[in-house]
Copies of this chain bind each other. A is one copy, B any other.
Amino acid sequence: METEQEKSQKKFHHADDCPITSTIDVIGGKWKPPIIWLLLKEPMRFGDIHKSMPGMALKVLSRSLKELETDGIIIRTAFPEIPPRVVYSLSDKGESLREIMKLLSQWSREHIMKLEEVA
């Protein structure tokens, strides 16, 4: 009998069709994982996210947030105040990434950070 993995492997012939690639497209890149990771803890304002990521250019943050919003991972809520206040939070779809994020983080601690201790 055919396994689940074999079934889904038959589905793709190009990388674009690979189910894993399409997930990486959504959560991949240098800054999206830390952004999701932060928002998994609590909703945050634009400026606070920025402050939490020293080194990330403003443009990169705003583009990342826009893409995550387009992909339905996060929700942007703007309050019509002066000065403006914008809060980003995870959608249900974004929340559903929690287990994956935990696994990715765990794998890193077990397979990457331990090497650094040795080095």
Residue among B19, B30, B40, B105 making CB contact with A23, cutoff 8 Å: B105
Q: Chain B residue with minimal CB distance to A27?
A: B24
| Contact in complex: B28, A15 (CB < 8 Å) | no
Q: Are B33 and A20 interface neighbours, CB within 8 A?
A: yes
B8, B28, B41, B103: the one contacting A109 at CB < 8 Å is B8
CB contact under 8 A between A28 and B28, given known A55-B15, A100-B104, A109-B19: yes
Contacts of A40 in B (CB 8 A): 5
Residues of B with C-beta under 8 A to A112:
19, 22-23, 26
CB of B18 within 8 A of CB of A34, answer yes
Partner of A5, one of B8, B28, B102: B102
